[in-house]
Each structure stands twice: as structure tokens, then as C-alpha cells.
Amino acid sequence: MTRPVRPGDASAPALVAGVDVDRVAAAVLACPLVCGLATGEHGATETYLPGRRVRGVRVHDDGPGPARIVVSVSACYGAPMRRLVEQVRSAVAVRAPGHPVDVVVADVA
């Protein structure tokens, strides 16, 4: 028997178009060249869920084919951008295989 999911329950899977946005966010934060997740201007890169939101990850499901994942990050100062993008895309590919990933470097910390 499954328990009911309450709004704001962080243990509930945060699935958007089959993508667990919590797992994607955790994978991105584990990248050595990423200092944090960023929301972008006016919260453009956030996933809104009942009672909470996941910053820095947005899933766009615009039609046929896999949903596109947008990740917005704050890069560590001095990080080579090409390497950072490779790290993020590789990390997301493990958690959401087959989905195209756009990486936005919104800030440098």
C-alpha cells in the first residue's frame, strides 16, 4: 500500500515528463565545477511543484520526442566553461538518459 503524497513532501518523486527533477538537481550540484544552482531572471529556471520548487532545473515537454532539460548554474570562479558544460551534461545523462540538456551559466561565484 502506498502512502498519500502531501503537498511539499520532499520524499515524493518530483517527476515532470518522466524526469525526476530532484535527482537531476542533486547530480548537477555534485559536479566539481558547479558552485550552485541558479534560477535565472524572474525564476525562469525553476520547477514548481505542490508546496515547493526545485531551483535551477526546468523541463520543457513541447511535443514528440524526449523532453528538453534546462539547467541553470553558478560556475566556480576560473572554471573552464566547456568542461563545466560537459560535466553537467554527463551528470544529467545518468539521471535522465536520452533527454537533450541545455546548460545556462547564470553566475560565477
- Phi and psi at 21, nearest 5°, equal -65, -30
pTM: 0.85
Over residues 66-95, the pLDDT tens digits come to 999 999 999 999 999 999 999 999 999 999
Instruction: Return the beta strands (E) in 1-109 as ranges.
Output: 15-16, 19-20, 34-37, 46-49, 52-55, 57-60, 68-75, 101-108
What would the mean pLDDT of 16-33 be, rounded to a whole number?
96
Q: In the chain, pLDDT over 90 holds for what percent of residues? A: 75
Classified as helix, coil or strand, 59 is strand
The pLDDT of residue 4 is 44
**Domain assignments of the chain as residue spans, ordered by start:** 32-52+77-109
* pLDDT value at 11 more than 80: no
Amino acid at residue number 99:
H
